[in-house]
Amino acid sequence: MPSPLSADRPAARPPGSAPVDTLISQTRRLKGEVDAVRRDTPADAGDPRERWRRALYDLAMHQLDDLDEHLAQLREDPPPAPGASAEELPAPPAPPRASLLSRVGSAEWDLLTDEVSWSGELYRILGRDPAAPPLTLDELPSLVLDEDRPRLTEMVTGCLVDGRPIDGEFRVMHAADDIRTVHMMGEPVLGADGSTVSMWAVLRDVSELRRCRRAVSETRDSLHRHRHAAARSEHRLAVELQEAVLPAWHGSLRFPRRGPRALDVAAAQLPPTAQASVGGDWYEALELSADATLLGVGELTGHGVTAASGVAMLLGAVRGMALSGAAPGPLLDCLDRLLGTTAQPALAGAVCLRYRHDTRTAVWARAGHPAPLLYRGRTGRALEAPQGAPLGAAPGSGHGQAEETLEVGDLLLLHTDGLVPGHTGAAAVHRLLALAPRFAGGRSAQTCVQEVVREFGAGERAEHACVLVARIAS
């Protein structure tokens, strides 16, 4: 009788096969749905993500094919009784090359009589001539690659001596240097006295399954490498863009460069503790004329190239409007309208301050941002803030202005959220104002920035932050 583990063929249905038929119908319906989705997946060999998706679809289809075949075997006749001669078992046709698990073979080794019985399919799995006698447990390792023989010997010894179930893999060499991977599961059969009298095993060819899983793993790894490379490129581009648009100066600057009344300015950007994408924080100090200087800080929502390009757009607009003479309030109104026209809506906070050297007055406006802090002597306070919603949050709401008269020796501190790790709002302002005694004594703007960095730069910070200090030097 032909092996039921060979190709499908018409046969009488055993009793109780209806549940299996239902499972077969469900499996084939699912195969059709998966195959339809797979056909719609672009076969783009140049896209790592599409290669990975295609490999997963192929693996799923192969596994469904095998499930269909095994369910079909389940409803067929049982396998032949052990001991059937090779002449009674014609060689079954080769399984489809696309099959992941191929056919299942079985074997039993009787330790009392030395009889060995193999199913017909096992000959094909192990690459043996069906006319040849089955191999004993001592002869079986001769089919296995040298490096896998210790593993097979250990599995068989553990089963026969210690009664452990067998569950492992080894490789065999077929003709034409075709190496196949075989999965073996088995258990000992114990006699009345508890000793092992025989061992049975079920073996299957899992070569295609391993190949498909390797393909999935390789395409997944390729996709990860591609994503990491893209992320590194994007981060590098965002850093370069940020460095290109933020002020290039380091240390203190004097505004104006000549004249009796000077403003001493310094700034710093504090990075997050862990590596993170470039954020949308920015600062600006721009000499508008011999009598006026623009100071500003802000932050745009988002990260990476999108945030860096948005900052470039905002800073370009700020510089252009400030140089044209726009006051801080109208300037923020224009930025609000500008954000409303972008393809990707975003929110931004900002504070802009226009300082007049001849009168030592500062006119400023804010858009949902912390107010500047004023330090005089050994004390400090936040400037009384005018109204001003974040940019992009309430278009057309307008941004009010406030004016403050300053004295020689006064110090202004502008900052973005996140400067004080673990504190926001009033708590952060309180921590910053506590630095007033350390700012006193005519210290330079750069020295004051260094004090801020020393105080808050070592804490756990999730986002970038900026600080700008301006001291009325004369």
In our burial notation (b when 16+ CB lie closer than 10 A, e otherwise), range 248-276 reads eeeebbebbeeeebbbbbbbbbbebeeee
pLDDT digits (tens, 9 = 90+) for 187-219: 999 888 888 999 999 898 988 888 888 888 888
Instruction: Determine the pLDDT at residue 85.
Output: 45
CA 86 vs CA 14, 110, 130, 174, 233: distances in Å: 26, 18, 6, 20, 64
**What residue ranges of the chain have pLDDT lower than 50?**
1-13, 81-101
The packing angle between helices 207-245 and 304-323, to 10°, is 10
Q: Which residue in 228, 219, 233, 232 sits closest to 49, CA to CA? A: 219
The Cα-based distances of 130 to 17, 213, 468 in angstroms read 31, 31, 86
H/E stretch holding 267? strand 263-270
Q: How far is CA 276 from the centre of its chain?
A: 13
Cα→Cα distances 303→152, 231, 234, 333, 463, Å:
54, 12, 10, 24, 10
| Two structure tokens written together for 54 | 């295609």
CA dihedral 28, 29, 32, 34 (to 10 degrees): -100
What pLDDT is stored for residue 235 in this prediction? Answer: 74
**Residue corresponding to tokens 């057309």:** 396
Beta-carbon contacts of residue 424 (< 8 Å; ≥ 6 apart) = 417, 418
- The per-residue pLDDT for 59 is 72
The confidence score (pLDDT) of residue 8 equals 36
Distance, in Å, from the CA atom of 316 to the CA atom of 291, rounded to the nearest integer, reads 22
* DSSP per-residue string spanning 27-50: HHHHHHHHHHHHHHS---TT-HHH
